[in-house]
Amino acid sequence: MGRQPVLQDYGNIQNPAGDMSVASDNARLVEQRRQFNLQNERLKGAAKEKEGKDATDYITGLKVDHIGDNTIDLYNDEQVKAVQDELIGMMQKGAGINEIKMAAMPKLQKIAQGYTIAKNEYGKLTEGIKELSKDNPTGDMGAVRNIGGKVLLNTIFEFDENGKVKGYKDPSVIATDKNYLEKINTNQNLPKWYSESGDLEKGIKELPLMPVNEEITTKDKFGNKIKKVIVGHQSVFDEPILNEDGKKVGIKLKSETVPLGRNEDGSLNLIEVMPKEQFELSIKGGKARKDFDLRFNKELEQNGIDPDRLDPRARDILEREYQLKLFKRTNIHGGLVSEKEINEAAPAKNTTYNNIRVGGNKEVTINDVYGRIENATKKADILFQGSDKRGTRMNTLDADAQKVIFDYVGDPELDERNSFIVNDDGAIKVYRLNEEKTTTANPNGTPDLDEKFVITTLPRVGTNIKVQANTKGKEAVVKQGEAPKVDSKPTTGYTNVQTLQDSKGKSIQAGVKNGKWYDIKTGKPIE
């Protein structure tokens, strides 16, 4: 038999050493790999946890500063919350911090731009309210803020069909030149914030009154002539009532008749209204205009008329009708005259309008120009409402009196057109007209009792001495001296009250009653 091949026994080829060392190494390697993977997962979890915390901190940290307006601040907060809700949803779906920031950036930028515009525009509104309050101290500025605030909100915010704010408008379409108080004085808004100031009545009452002193002759039912005098005061709103002789027998409010629509029969509907010139004088604008509008609009609404739907031409007519009725009802302008019969008793002895006799047995007649000036002020060419002071314009004085005054003042720019005199408790003061206040009736200025318009106070002696014809007259004036000051208001029951010298040279207060001169103190007639 042939020789068999010999196969050497190498044992376990996978483990030539015949032990478990290789298996142990493999096991260790697998465990190391498992531990590595576990550590890696822990690290990944930690990183993810940190990123989640960063995202959370970023989202919750989003906010916008408050401006100071409750509504604007609320809308800003709502916009930021909407962005936060959207970003939280992204984070829950696994979005990282960078992705979240990228998504938030354009939304936050729009809010920031809108916020800047809102802050600036709210500042303009606040400043406008501040200025309005200076001229309208009685107004409700809280109501003004509400009115102007609504305009501001509609200018800078977008709203859905339900009125819920969607967010700021695109900055490019927001008008930043808007006057948020432009419509504060509309018929609808004015009653919401404005309270009457009293300027309407005040302005009307401040207008000057002109005296009425018109002598007329009438006949009674028996044909006898009766002399009467029409006395009182006329305002710029009045016009005279004349008789057939052209004499003033009364006054009435100026008016005109204008058409407003047609009647049912097709004829013109004629309405009596105040003329435009007088109407404009009665309302000087500002608070006076607001006072009027408040009353007039209320009147319209009570009559079922919407002020906002009224044609401007019709409004003009109805305003002037309303004002005319107000004047007739209240006599607010102060124009009023009365009729008095004239008693034609003989004038007092030894006294004339122009002269006064002084000096006992050796009487000297002096030219009492000061007395004529004084008497002119008592006739009240100018009557100041709210004051007992009386005055007159220079052109009511005679030429001598005017010349004496202008010579004494020594101002070449002063004349009878821009000056007047006032009896201030017996002192005769020369005033310059207030040139800053001119009207149609007073183009050279308005009489104003402010002391800054006083030019001088006329002295009795200094005034009279300039016009005496001789030395004796001048001496008599000096002897007469500055007569005691008396009340410039007429004493009850007497007219033409003044200080005279009796036959003994004693100064007495005298006045006219029933056509005769009386010593007012004793009540006895002066013979």
For residues 472 and 337, the model is more confident at 337
Structure tokens at 525: 């007639």
Per-residue pLDDT band at 343 (split at 50, 70, 90): low
Dist CA 312 CA 308 (whole Å):
10
Q: How far from 167 is each of 76, 82, 113, 229, CA to CA, in Å? A: 8, 10, 11, 79
* Residue 75 CB burial class (10 angstroms; 0-12, 13-18, ≥19): buried
Asked if 170 and 135 count as a contact pair (C-beta separation under 8 A), the reply is no
Which of 215-219, 251-255, 438-442, 457-461 shows the lowest mean pLDDT across its residues? 438-442
| Domain segments of the chain as ranges | 70-195, 210-340, 355-519
Residue 393, phi-psi category: left (phi > 0), alpha (psi -120 to 50), beta (remainder): beta
Mean pLDDT of 322-330: 91
Cα–Cα distances (Å) from 16 to 10, 21, 24, 25, in that order, read 7, 11, 15, 15
Cβ atoms of residues 389 and 424 within 8 Å: yes
> Which of the four pLDDT bands, split at 50, 70 and 90, describes residue 512?
low
- State the helix-helix crossing angle for 97-135 and 70-92, rounded to 10 degrees: 180
CA gap 223, 476 in Å, rounded: 50
Residues 6+ apart with CB under 8 A from 443: none
What would the pLDDT profile of 73-109 be if each residue is shown by its tens digit?
988 898 898 888 888 888 888 888 888 889 889 988 9
Taking the CB of residue 6, how many other CB atoms lie within 10 A of it?
A: 5
Task: Write the DSSP assignment of 30-44 as a string of letters.
Answer: HHHHHHHHHHHHHHH
Q: Is the predicted pLDDT of residue 145 greater than 60, yes or no?
A: yes
Q: How confident is the model at residue 117, as a pLDDT?
A: 93
CA distances from 238 to 80, 251, 386 (A): 68, 6, 20
Residue with tokens 């900055």: 171
Q: CA-CA distance, 240 to 391, in Å (whole number)?
A: 22
Structure tokens at 423: 């009896």
**For residue 503, which amino acid is it?**
S
Q: Nearest 5°: CA angle at 121, between 119 and 126?
A: 95
Judge contact between 352 and 368, C-beta under 8 A.
no
* pLDDT at residue number 346: 38
Q: Around Cβ 1, how many Cβ atoms within 10 Å?
A: 3
How far apart, in whole angstroms, are the C-alpha atoms of residue 458 and residue 460?
6
Which pLDDT does position 357 carry in this prediction? 46
Residue, of 505 and 367, whose pLDDT is higher: 367
Cβ-defined contacts of 174-177 (< 8 Å, 24+): 174/114, 174/117, 176/117, 176/120, 176/121
Bridge partners for 367 per DSSP:
355
DSSP 189-252: THHHH----SHHHHHHHTS-BEEEEEEEEEE-TTS-EEEEEEEEEE-TTEEEEE-TTS-EEEEE
Amino acid at 34: R
Strand order in the sheet with 516-519: 495-501, 507-513, 516-519
Q: Which residue is listed with tokens 């102007």?
A: 148
> For residue 310, is pLDDT > 50?
yes
Q: What is the pLDDT of residue 131?
A: 92
Of 249-258, 358-367, 456-465, 505-514, the poorest mean pLDDT is in 358-367
CA dihedral 196, 199, 204, 209 (to 10 degrees): 140
DSSP string, 409-452: H--TT--TTSEEEEEETTEEEEEE-BTTS--SS-TT-B----GG
Report how far Cα 504 is from the mean position of its chain's Cα atoms: 61
Nearest C-alpha neighbor of 405 from the set 340, 464, 476 = 464
Query: Can you give the pLDDT at residue 6?
Result: 47
* pLDDT, position 11: 45
Whole-model pTM: value is 0.48
pLDDT category of residue 308 using cuts at 50, 70 and 90: confident
* Best CA proximity match to 418, nearest among 446, 391, 390: 446
Span of 10-14, 152-156, 240-244, 339-343 with lowest mean pLDDT:
10-14
Long-range contacts of 456-459 (CB under 8 A, 24+ apart): 456/408, 456/409, 456/429, 456/430, 457/427, 457/428, 457/429, 457/430, 458/370, 458/373, 458/405, 458/408, 458/421, 458/428, 458/429, 458/430
**Residues belonging to the chain:** 527
Token pair of 69 as six digits: 């307006």
State CA 164 to chain mean position distance: 38
Number of CB atoms found within 10 A of residue 364's CB = 20
Of 80, 64, 58, whose CA–CA distance to 115 is shortest?
64
- Whole-number pLDDT of residue 21: 59
